[in-house]
């Protein structure tokens, strides 16, 4: 790494596919074995079936990607939703194995919470913030993710998501329903907070080696990491604000270690002139 200030980024649930298993099996078979034991089955084989499998699969793939690159040092770490756990592990705030324990519990409580309420979903919208907020208000939805100045995700009851998708497309706005189990990052997840909090109490947290930026507050995690992680189940993800904060802190290089290149793309669409790298591009440079 040169004199540039670097942030390492960890993606959320909606990235990657079962092909990531090969890297995990080669680089971190211990995490794959633990995730399989705790989830009850190989999470990669069923990651398309639900949150309970997708979350441990993405976590393991992201940590394996970071490991493959030699766990490069960074001045800051950040993760999108689920990715916060990977960022905390990379920064030394938790052990990698405890990260697996956290994401398995997280996936289960979110799937269980989704099953306790009216069917819900999420809708990605290609719009500015004002347009996304207006669409959300019109259909009784929550502005759950602010991914970039041009991409937002609405969350709420499934029938309202479908109506909003139709209305958006009729008005010429790009909209796509996401393959998720429920209305994540809304009050629909509130029944999972207690159980997730109890799981977090079993984990030892340490002082991170570098600041980890919360994807809900856009500020470094403090002493209340457990409370913040539990509250994130019902809190909007403010990724645009996270990138803005990192920019203010002087970050000029962003390394997306997860499967795919979603976060690198969001950086380019949010910050002019920022340098981005992905697992694939960094591996090519090191070859």
Catalytic annotation, residues: 81, 185
User: Considering just the CA atoms, what is the radius of gyration of the chain in Å?
Assistant: 18
Other beta carbons less than 10 A from residue 60's beta carbon: 31
Helix (H, G, I), strand (E, B) or coil at 282: helix
d(CA 53, CA 32): 12
Neighbour-count burial of 244, counting CB atoms closer than 10 A to its CB (0-12 exposed, 13-18 middle, 19+ buried):
middle
203 phi and psi angles, rounded to 5 deg: -105, 140
Q: Pick from 92, 95, 90, 88: which is nearest to 221 by CA? A: 88
Other beta carbons less than 10 A from residue 167's beta carbon: 14
d(CA 48, CA 43): 9
């Amino acid at each position: 790494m040169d004199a540039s200030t670097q942030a390492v980024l960890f993606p959320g649930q909606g990235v990657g596919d079962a092909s990531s298993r090969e890297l995990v099996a080669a680089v971190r078979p211990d995490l794959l074995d633990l995730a399989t034991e705790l989830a009850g089955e190989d999470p990669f084989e069923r990651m398309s079936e639900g949150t309970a499998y997708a979350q441990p699969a993405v976590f393991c793939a992201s940590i394996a990607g970071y490991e493959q690159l030699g766990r490069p040092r960074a001045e800051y770490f950040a993760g999108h939703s689920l990715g916060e756990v990977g960022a905390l592990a990379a920064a030394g705030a938790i052990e990698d194995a405890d990260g697996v324990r956290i994401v398995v519990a997280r996936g289960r409580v979110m799937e269980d919470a989704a099953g306790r309420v009216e069917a819900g979903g999420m809708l990605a919208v290609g719009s500015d913030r004002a347009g996304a907020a207006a669409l959300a208000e019109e259909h009784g939805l929550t502005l759950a993710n602010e991914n970039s100045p041009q991409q937002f995700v609405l969350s709420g009851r499934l029938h309202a998501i479908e109506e909003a998708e139709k209305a958006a497309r009729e008005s010429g706005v790009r909209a796509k329903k996401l393959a998720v189990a429920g209305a994540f990052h809304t009050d629909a997840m509130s029944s999972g907070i207690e159980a997730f909090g109890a799981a977090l109490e079993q984990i030892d947290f340490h002082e991170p080696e570098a600041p980890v930026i919360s994807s809900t507050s856009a500020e470094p995690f403090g002493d209340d990491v457990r409370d913040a992680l539990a509250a994130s189940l019902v809190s909007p993800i403010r990724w645009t604000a996270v990138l803005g904060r990192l920019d203010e802190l002087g970050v000029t290089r962003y390394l997306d270690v997860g499967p795919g290149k979603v976060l690198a793309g969001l950086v380019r669409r949010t910050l002019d002139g920022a340098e981005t790298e992905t697992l694939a591009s960094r591996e090519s440079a090191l070859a």
